[in-house]
With several copies, the nearest count.
Chain A
Amino acid sequence: DPVRVAVAANFLSPVEVIASAFEAAGGEPVEIVSGATGQHYAQIINGAPFDVFLAADQARPARLLEQGLAIEGSVFTYALGRLVLWAGDGHQLPDNGFAGLVDHPVTRLAIANPRLAPYGRAARDALQATGQWQALQPRLVEGLSVGRALHYLATGNVSHALVAASYTHARGRPGGAWVAVDPSWHESIRQDAVRLVNGPNPAGARAFMTFLKSAEAQTILQGFGYRAAGEVTEP
């Protein structure tokens, strides 16, 4: 059996590179399933057979542990993510950065679903913290995951999007310009990984988790704009 990894949409590009490195280093083949953190969580609850869950938050892996669906002691924070404001091709970024969004010609602003995707939640928090949430409400478009939010931008259906910084490093990223969102406007995006009870390949999962912690993997994810979290296990 391959190692089946459910990954939060923001981390799809890095995990593809990491998986190749893992396989190159003699690891078993890795199968990747991307989606919003909340979607993965709901599927795991309903019996989805994943070996590893790379979430975009800490809450859902923790809940899986409580429910006995994740393996005790396997949780660790593999990355700290960041949010960027992206202006699509032919659109401008606000002159005074993220906080100026509300006065800027934004036709539509795509975010991930705040209830399913941690990046969506961070986007909402940041908009609220800067007092722009109410005013932008009529122009907001929700994608189920942060990947879908970016997709709306890529197809030209929205002018701006609030997405993961990792996309600025992704292959096939859409054109346009981006600017980082000050992380102080939202809770930090701490992304936890966990091994799952129902996975068909526990040994492979363990090997993959070990590799994820390796310097090689950490270097890869830093290359996508994440901050490495080292081997920080949840207190």
Chain B
Amino acid sequence: MSLSAVWISLQLASVTVIVLLVIGTPLAWWLANSRSRWRVPVDALVALPLVLPSTVLGFYMLILLGPAGPIGRFWVAATGETLTFSFTGLVITSVLYSLPFVVQPIRDAFAAVGRGPMEAAASLGARPIDAFFSIACPQSARGFLTAAVLGFAHTLGEFGAVLMVGGSIPGETRVVAIAIYEHVEMLEYGAAHTLSAGLLLFSFVVLVAVYTVNRARHPVLLR
């Protein structure tokens, strides 16, 4: 059971990070550059999962994704499957839950690139989308790394919302954080210890790696 939970968690974290990089990058760009009066509310919305209890998120997702909910009903009609207690439902929940961990580092990296290099690229004939991919993205490499690592690790550590939306279906939604919780319920402390220590070590190693890469404060980029 433990190994399958680890496997599910890794899958969930990977898929979530990929989805978040795809939708988070344009969002981060907009947040870094927009002067719209919507920027502040959207920024706050993105940051909301940082401060919101995961049970609040879990509750709303349960309502939205449940078979009677607006999204869940549509999903059932379209696919014949329910979103709650499914891997897909977990991905949707995790994407929301880990959103700030991916969007904020990319946003800050884009902001740090600033208008200077983008204007320089335009003066060299680069169209905006060209400059985005050829200048802004590579110069933000470190932000992307931080984003991917934080998003991955945070998804791996997700508990409350996943518990409410996914329950604990083995091989489907029983992620490692829940497995730890259940091992404890089953009085299997050895297994709980093993998983907890593994996660602790993994998270720590990843953080040390990210901070070491980011320690050099001067703008030497990843090459």
**Which A residues contact B (CB, under 8 angstroms)?**
4, 9, 12, 31-36, 38-39, 41-43, 45-49, 107-108, 110, 113, 115-116, 140-145, 147-148, 150-152, 154-158, 170, 172-174, 198
Contact = CB atoms under 8 A, between A and B. Distances in A.
Contacts of B214: none
Interface in B167-188: 167-171, 174, 182, 184-188
A173 B189 CA distance: 11
B185 A47 contact: no
Given A113-B182, A156-B68, A33 B169 contact: yes
A171 B184 CA distance: 14
A88 to B, nearest CB: 9
11 contacts: A33-B168, A41-B187, A48-B167, A147-B187, A151-B187, A155-B63, A157-B62, A157-B84, A158-B85, A173-B187, A174-B187
B25 interface: no
Interface string B44-69: 00000000000000000011001111
Given A42-B185, A142-B169, 9 more contacts: A42-B184, A46-B62, A49-B169, A110-B167, A113-B182, A115-B186, A144-B185, A155-B68, A174-B187
A47 B75 CA distance: 12
Interface residues of B, number: 26
B interface, over-half SS: loop
Contacts of B67: 46-47, 107, 156-157
A179 B86 CA distance: 28
Contacts of B168: 33, 35, 113, 141-142, 144
Contacts of A172: 186-188
Contacts of B151: none
Contacts of B186: 12, 34, 38, 42, 115-116, 147, 172
B88 interface: no
